[in-house]
Amino acid sequence: MANEVLVVGLDIGTTKVCVVIGELNENGKLEITGVGISPSTGLRKGVVVNIEATLRSVSSAIENAELMSGREVKNCWVGIGGSHIDGLNSRGVVAVTGRNRETREIGQDDIDRVLEAARAVVIPMDRQVLEVIPQSYIVDDQKGVRNPLDIMGVRLEAEVHIITCGVTGAQNLVKCVNRAGFRVNGLVLQSLAAGTSVLTEEEKELGVALVDLGGGTTDVMVYFQGTPFSTMTIPAGGSQVTSDISILNNLSFETAERIKLNAGCCWESVLDGDDDIIVPGVGGRAPQPIPKSQIMHVIRPRMEEIFLMVKEKLDHLSLSRPLGGGVVLTGGGACLPGAAELASYIFKLPVRIGVPLSVGGLVEEYRNPEYATAVGLMLEGAMREGQKTIEWGNEKGGREKNQGSFFGKFVNWLKKEFF
């Protein structure tokens, strides 16, 4: 199968790099044929601090995925996140010119103009607009319009959610991928991609907080009435939990990470017994036993602190009603036993662990919160590639030709299955 039907999601995190390769079959359906993971040491709190280390991690993860899929990766959709990400809501307004001046029907040109007016916000020189996501439209005095195309009106307003990022942070990320030998199709916000892969449309409509527990940061995306409403970043994640275990028990960081993954827990009722964990001594000293309950009492305060910081930000949002969809935890930190129970205790809301929606292919390999962002990047990339194909077909007057393309078939299938 030709390389142009491959869609690759590349999630470059603080502690690991995840890659998911999707392949469109002859029916236009997406199948995941390769996944890869590699430790990441070149980022701090989501920002590149060592280009050479980052590109080595990227190369290693993609090679692992290529070996599994038997395909060669040339380009990919890259996730971006970290403490330099910020979000704000904006509004734009224009007069409708319409395709027919007598009926004043809203055309695509009017929609493009109002979105351009909404994104005309003042941002510092060291920042750039990453995403402009329409929330709703207002036609004259009619609020809550989802798609104003062909509706008659005189005045068109758009409410949008704008996501910005640091210019240098984005440039360094692209540079790492390019130097590793791959082309970047586009940058996609990591929490937005994770939401695409783990959230249902019903949850987005009711209002839901997606909490992506990463290694260096915790990214939060709040959906309300079907669209993103707020983007937040908490400068703490799983690495802080590992660091606490390391410092309080005089262990190396690597040993503390293994203990967290193999015997960690943050809620007493899900603690699997209180057996001792034998850990190697430092500097040739004798191994020492550590009870599992002691590890839990180290992990829980830090996880509780992270959730409390998220709750404080959620409490400051001006929402017209509570989040009916509750909270969805995803990312590597969501794999920690007891995370959902502790979050439910803190947020006083329903909480579930978000795993990627079933796409097809290597189901067992990617149905894990760790791969939520990478799978979402692949889905977002496929949607955006499909939209480009559709736009090209419309401009050339070749709608029938597009419907036969792999991406055209895939977009129709993806909308039917997930949207």
Q: How long, in residues, is the chain?
A: 419
- Exposed / middle / buried, residue 284 (Cβ in 10 Å: 0-12, 13-18, 19+): exposed
| Gap between the Cα atoms of 375 and 381, Å rounded | 10
Residue 249 has a pLDDT of 85
Q: Which helix (H) or strand (E) holds 299?
A: helix 292-315
Indicate the pairing of strand 75-80 with strand 6-12. parallel
Strand residues in 172-306 grouped as ranges (E): 183-189, 208-213, 218-224, 227-234, 276-279, 288-291
Q: Reduced to 3 DSSP states, what percent helix, strand and coil does the chain have, rounded to the nearest 5?
A: 40, 30, 30
Residue 401 has a pLDDT of 34
Residue 287 has a pLDDT of 84
Q: What are phi and psi of 292, to 5 degrees?
A: -60, -35
Residue 170 has a pLDDT of 92
CA angle 311, 317, 318 (to 5 degrees): 145
Give start-end residues of each CATH 3.30.420.40 domain in the chain. 199-354
Residue 396 has a pLDDT of 32
Residue 273 has a pLDDT of 77
Give start-end residues of each CATH 3.30.1490.110 domain in the chain. 86-165
Residue 302 has a pLDDT of 95
Q: How far is CA 379 from the centre of its chain?
A: 11
pLDDT along the chain (419 residues), means of 10: 72 93 82 91 85 92 93 93 91 83 80 92 91 93 88 92 93 93 94 94 95 93 94 92 91 90 90 82 80 92 96 92 94 93 96 88 80 93 68 31 46 55
Longest CA–CA separation in the chain, Å: 88
Helix axes 253-263, 238-248, angle to 10 degrees: 110
What CATH number does domain 199-354 carry, 3.30.420.40, 3.40.50.920, 1.20.58.220, 3.40.190.10?
3.30.420.40
Residue 405 has a pLDDT of 47
* CATH number assigned to the domain covering 86-165: 3.30.1490.110
Domain range 1-74+355-419, CATH architecture: 2-Layer Sandwich (3.30)
Residue 74 has a pLDDT of 93
Residue 245: other Cβ atoms inside 10 A: 23
